[in-house]
A and B are shown apart, each in its own frame.
Chain A
Amino acid sequence: MTVTSVFDQLERLLPRVSKPIQYVGGELGAIVKDWDACAVRWALMYPDAYEVGLPNQGVQILYEILNERPDVLAERTYAVWPDLEALMREHGVPQFTVDAHRPVGAFDLFGVSFATELGYTNLLNALDLAGIPLDAAERGEEHPVVVAGGHAAFNPEPIADFIDAAVLGDGEEAVLEITGIVRAWKAEGRPGGREELLLRLARTESIYVPRFYDVDYLPDGRIHRVVPNRAGVPFRVRKRTTMDLDEWPYPRRPLVPLAETVHERYAVEIFRGCTRGCRFCQAGMITRPVRERSITTVGQMVHDGLEFSGFSEVGLLSLSSADHSEIGDICSGLADAYQGTNVSLSLPSTRVDAFNVSLAEELSRNGRRTGLTFAPEGGSERIRRVINKMVSEEDLIRTVVTAYTRGWRQVKLYFMCGLPTETDDDVVQIARLAHEVIKAGRAATGSRDIRCTVSIGGFVPKPHTPFQWATMATPETIDRRLRLLKEAINSDRSLGRAIGYRYHDGQPSLIEGLLSRGDRRVGAVIRRVWQDGGRFDGWSEHFSYARWVSAAAEALPAHGVDLDWFTTREREEAEVLPWDHLDSGLDKEWLWQDWQDSLREYEQDDCRWTPCFDCGVCPTMDTQIQIGPTGRKLLPLTPVGQV
């Protein structure tokens, strides 16, 4: 059965919507393959607007890996804005891919990558627009298998009713394994129907199929147990880890959009994983162990990626980029190679120390300087010990002053509000810190032309972190502390004028908290919010707190729980957490110990440079830390345009 493009129908609607270019595809790097020549077909979605979704590395990597297989086809789809959604519903146009404008409902697999839980309502909307039943249980053989991935898939329980499967961890090898299973099942004539296919996926022990697990609850609302309801389905599903990043140098052909997107750069992951052990950081916990990409692969990827894409900016990505064992050589090697080419290099996610200022300086030799950003996360030394962000006030001030004296005028500082054990004073201390930074900066440079921006967001406790048991601060508490901070910053008018203040209020964080640590009962809340018009919950202009609160009030009390129960309630050690059957490799006892250490304000070292502290990942997952130095240098590469 061949599938036809819906572009003719769509084209008539496009003159009536904003930014129509986001729906037409045609990007450099986009691939359109013959439908009938492919045995397995994936639709990949990043459940947000095109401008946010297109640059997503995860989707780009999987798109390329799948399309490299001769008999596999992968196309992309993104959330459509409400203006187009209304027209699509009016004219019966289904959710489509941007590559060949094929209806999403016609694919074998529908893979959705969740970087944040706030994309859940967009998943429901896309399923509905695609004509795929929202409830996985109602889907037939003709419907795609809906697979969730990304960091939020480490607790997919709130969307368990809507997905068929979830993949925990790295996707490179997982998508190929899933493809193989689907290919074989189709070739055999689809024995046993959809049920059998899902069973084969579940038996890999690394693909979670929620329907094969029953959840029982205790009378007080807590989970009693989660157990498989089929033979051959594992009690715990393991995360996937791609061990050798040099074997997977993707994206090779980065997608270059015509539309404007949030990141316009070629991004290279220089390593995956992080062992710094910041206790709030889910990404750092679930991506262990650290696996470095070698300096030579990084250099080659940058060279090839720029040549292919024509981008003028390169981002060296990771969770803490300066921690790469050969970061100095990478930065100076790339700066040498691209000197005088108008290519700019950036190193996001850096820790607070003077070394980073030197790296940033090296990368901006051309004179092109973006702002410098540091993330102390907590305002007082006490709270920084609680969250294990080991930065002393002295180090922070010295680092920022170094940046000012080396010519940066503007430094951004990131913080969180609502951290466990936090008091008003911990937050107000941020103002004092910012004042000290400006004072020291003025003294060191003799100039009043320096600024810093304090940017602060609400803390959300995440699964698989030591804070998974923690209480969340209420939005009222967060908003009060943010107000106190603002007053404290402006208490000195001279210093206050040099400090920018950006914050997010507490309400969206609370909902993110509900979705992060929710269980299957939260699915009904998501469904109600979507039915009530909820879309694009990550966008403040679309997010409605009242809609979530009222949906929670309607859907949860029947189970004896409520919004507070999921968010501000502190959990005890013995409680079965909704994600306990999903194995991130972290030992729950170690997490609990680290949580207790946090409450005692004990710090935990980084296992790259100190002995193993037994978080559990390496032995459970049969992995190990992979770091250099390799001792190699970047070969002299010929930059684009310098032929």
Chain B
Amino acid sequence: MSAREQGGRARKPQPDKNQAPIVQRIRIRYAKRGPLRFTSHRDFARAFERAVRRSGVPIAYSQGFTPHPKISYASAAPTGVASEAEYLEIALQAPMDPAEVRAALDAALSPGLDVLEAVEAHGESLADRIDASAWRVELPDVDRDRLVAAVAEFLAADEVAVERVMKDGRRRLDVRAPVVRVEVANPTPRPGAAGAAQCAILDLVVRQVTPSVRPDDVLAGLRVVADLEPPVPPRAIRLAQGRLTAHGEIVDPLVAGDRPVIGGPSE
């Protein structure tokens, strides 16, 4: 029913009520890479909506004066942090093969915002399937032995309080408790890295709590316990998100069964 068809319409315009119903939901894993890791979540959400329109993927819209495409996001990596494992779910008004959805959305997004996987949604919600993240943090010009010692101090502490500036002012939060695992990766000679630049690497598995504890909070914790001050801004990347098993493994949220993807103690 368009405005025009309503003819001698009332003073107050009515919203279009005939948005098509939802027939399918698709869950998506995407990456934020390279320079585009500086994309904030709001920026990504805008870019993704446009990409959906460009791609021709038959997205469903909400009702109302300003219909919004039906997209829901799982927790987003902080601005400036790269990720290989961001998740969202979209609702479609016409069925489409998830593989085609993936290809169409990936083609419509800038390189660096890459759609990696798409599966039809079933079972528990994404939010119920995600309660922990695995992160890798590169610390250029940080001595590996220093880092190992700092991590040992961190693990030995019962609580590591750091201050963070949030919307409602400064807040103290304990960064120790949510950290399930933290270890310094073994130095691996990287081809092409010319060996000159020393770069210590930290692997983290952190439970998703409120307020969230992010890699920079853990680094702040290392500063508190061991005075570790990276001379160059570290580069963090989220490698996985999912449900944490009793063994400290993370379960792929797109897979129906309980397949661990990363973070197993045997790794």
Contact = CB atoms under 8 A, between A and B. Distances in A.
B3 interface: yes
Contacts of A643: 56
A20 B80 CA distance: 8
Contact of A367 (B15, B38, B79): B15
Given A258-B47, A342-B67, A405-B11, A24 B54 contact: no
Interface string B34-60: 011011101110110111111010110
B2 interface: yes
Interface in A255-284: 256, 258-260, 264
A364 B65 CA distance: 11
A15 B36 CA distance: 12
Contact of A256 (B4, B16, B50, B56): B50
Interface string A230-263: 0000000000000000000000000010111000
A342 B61 contact: yes
Given A26-B111, A367-B16, A641 B53 contact: yes
Interface in B78-125: 79-80, 108, 110-113
Given A310-B52, A365-B4, A368-B65, A21 B12 contact: no
Given A26-B36, A342-B61, A367-B14, A310 B108 contact: yes
B233 interface: yes
A599 interface: no
Interface stretch (A6-14, A506-514, A546-554): A6-14
B110 A366 contact: no
A27 B58 contact: no
Contacts of A405: 11
A309 B2 contact: no
Contacts of A342: 61, 67
A439 interface: no
Interface size class of chain B, counting residues whose CB lies under 8 Å from the partner chain: 35 or more
Interface of chain A, main secondary structure: loop
Interface residues of A, number: 44
Contact of A26 (B52, B54, B80, B110): B110
Nearest to A341: B53
A12 B43 contact: no
A83 interface: no
A369 interface: yes
Nearest to A312: B53
B169 interface: no
Contact of A258 (B54, B66, B80, B110): B110
Nearest to B54: A310
A369 B13 contact: yes
Which 4 A-B pairs give the minimum distances between C-beta atoms?
A310-B50, A310-B54, A24-B35, A310-B53
Given A310-B52, A310-B53, A368-B65, 17 more contacts: A11-B35, A12-B233, A23-B38, A26-B110, A26-B112, A256-B47, A256-B50, A260-B46, A310-B108, A311-B50, A364-B13, A365-B2, A367-B3, A367-B14, A407-B13, A640-B56, A641-B53
